[in-house]
Amino acid sequence: MAVVGFISEKGGVGKTTACYHVAVALHRYHNKSVLVIDADYQRGGITGRLFPELIEDFRRGTLPDVTLFSKFQHLYSASLFDPTVTIRTASVGVDAIVADTRLAHVTTDKLPSTNNIFSNNLSLLNHLKVIREVIDNLNNRYDYVLIDSHPEISDVLRSIIYASDYCVSPVKLDLQSSVGVPTVVSEIGTVNKDVALMKSTIDNTLTYRPTLFAGAMGMMAREYRGTPKQTEADEMRRLRSTGTVFSAYVTEGDGIRKAAQERLPVYDISGANADKQSLQFRQLTTEFLTKCP
């Protein structure tokens, strides 16, 4: 099993689109069992894509599911932690834990505090571990667990990073968006360092493999005569100098827009542009398998 977080500091860069299409391709073209965790509490984009019938309930906050939120709440109310959640199966063949708007209220500020440094740090560690505990409780039922996120450096994001073996960062290839990549890479480093500290001071039985940054993914690239436009190629090069970048990228185009409207993967949309974007997502997924084995 590999757990992969789709994270970025910038909104609207294609995280949800990438997470959804990689999830479907892993299942459909590589025969992998896939669980998607929708941790985007604001949009719930993957939830809406996989289960259109749930969108209204998501917005009203009336979904009956046991979601990640109630797992964090166990810690706030100092009740017994139970890692079980509701898992739904979507028609495209992937399973999902749906989004919950209440995840916006997750913060370590809500943890019961004492004047004891050891127990305060222990509860911070438990907060970091919540999503991983939920995943570990699934006993390797999935080949891949993909986590979609809200674009914000938050305690939920830190818990996503802790839970992930790898993180990828979808990016629109413009200067404004790609400056967000070093920020998430640095947050991954901070979480890894915090865990090393916790391990040496609080719980030396903790098994934790530092989260790896597997690369930025170029989304919505614009091309000129079949290759990325100069400005986009420059951004790719700049990103490469700060970390890894996937060589496969997805171009901007209406195949994906049409697919989003119809709530289908672009693989199921007809037309020249959709065919091109389908192929690009399939190539991206093949590279994903090597970068996040």
Residue ranges binding ligand ATP (CB under 6 A): 11-17, 40, 43, 45, 151, 219-220, 250, 252-253, 256-257, 260
Q: Which tokens sit at 225? A: 């005569």
235 binds, among ligand ATP, Mg ion, none (CB under 5 to 8 A by kind): none
Q: Which tokens sit at 161? A: 């990073």
256 binds, among ligand ATP, Mg ion, none (CB under 5 to 8 A by kind): ligand ATP
**11/189 with CB nearer Mg ion:** 11
Distances (CA, A) of 184 to 30, 152, 251: 29, 10, 23
- Could you identify the residue written with the tokens 């818990």? 159
Task: List Cβ neighbours of 120 (8 Å cut-off, separation of 6 or more).
Answer: 111, 113, 114
CB of 148: closest distance to Mg ion in angstroms?
Answer: 6
**13/156 with CB nearer ligand ATP:** 13
| Ordered DSSP codes for 168-227 | EEEEESSHHHHTHHHHHHHHHHHHHHHHHHHHHHT-TT---PPPEEEEEEEESB-EETTE
CB of 76: closest distance to ligand ATP in angstroms?
Answer: 26
* Rounded distance between C-alpha atoms, residue 258 and residue 263, angstroms: 8
Q: Which tokens sit at 224? A: 């000129």
42, 44, 46, 52 alpha-carbon torsion, rounded to 10°: -150
Q: Does 101 bind Mg ion (CB under 5 A)?
A: no
215 binds, among ligand ATP, Mg ion, none (CB under 5 to 8 A by kind): none
Distances (CA, A) of 111 to 68, 106, 196: 16, 10, 21
250 binds, among Mg ion, ligand ATP, none (CB under 5 to 8 A by kind): ligand ATP
134 binds, among ligand ATP, Mg ion, none (CB under 5 to 8 A by kind): none
CB of 85: closest distance to ligand ATP in angstroms?
Answer: 21
x/- letters, 18..57, toward Mg ion (CB under 5 A): ----------------------x----x------------
173 binds, among Mg ion, ligand ATP, none (CB under 5 to 8 A by kind): none
Q: State the residues that interact with Mg ion by CB under 5 A.
A: 15-16, 40, 45
